[in-house]
Amino acid sequence: MTIFGIIFTATYILAIIFLRWANLSDLQTMPLNELGDFLAGVFGPLMLLWLILGYIQQQKELRQNTKALELQADELRKSVEQHKELVAATREQVQADLKSLEIEEIRSLREAHPVFSVTSAGWGSRTGVNFKFNIMILNSGQPASSVKFSSSPSIRQIESSGIVHYFASGQTQTISWDSEVSGDAPAELRLVINCRDANTRPYTKIFEMVLDSDNKYHLTGTSEAG
């Protein structure tokens, strides 16, 4: 637009000079007010032209600025989307790491547990009508400490058996009672073992058993906590 304005202005001035060349000498004797009117008439169209060209140039710059702002807004929008994706990916990674740590912690806790199992349960000897019952518990896991046995229904000799301070791995403990002291063996028995595992954390193992017609206990279920 600027080049066009310069070319048009130069052409216009040359055209005025060419058309009024023969009368240029009259400008020297022309009164000032008439000279002013003449110059206003000559350069008025140029002023209007440059005003229009300036307006067009301003509109062009405004469009360019608007486009630049739109591009910046688009880049900012893309940056925000990328940031959201990064935050989401980071959150997922943190959750995965926490889950992995949780699984590792559970595995570590389980590795510190004793592994109790009932190897035999039932009457071991008989004297008249008096039966002596034995339950043999094997620990095939980590050592346990402060081991306490209890039962439901309560069997007095089990409840008063005291605390086993150390139950080593591979060791067997025998729980015994007789019907003369503790009464008849219950048809359904829950044996509870409370102790501390290798990390000194509380651990509980429960055995559910039923008594058959031969006075032998059979395992029906187990559960644990800790």
**pLDDT tens profile 142-199:** 999 999 999 999 998 998 888 899 999 999 999 999 888 888 889 999 999 999 999 8
Q: Does the domain at residues 116-225 carry the CATH identifier 2.40.30?
A: no
* Mean pLDDT of all residues in 210-220: 93
Measured distance CA(161)–CA(169) in Å, rounded: 20
Q: Cis (ω within 30 of 0) for the bond into 202?
A: no
Measured distance CA(162)–CA(159) in Å, rounded: 7
The verdict on pTM exceeding 0.75 is no
Residue 192: the pLDDT is 96
Measured distance CA(153)–CA(90) in Å, rounded: 54
| Long-range CB contacts for residues 25-28, cutoff 8 Å, separation at least 24 | none
Residue 19: the pLDDT is 61
Q: How far is CA 224 from the centre of its chain?
A: 30
Q: DSSP for 184-199?
A: SPPSEEEEEEEEE-TT
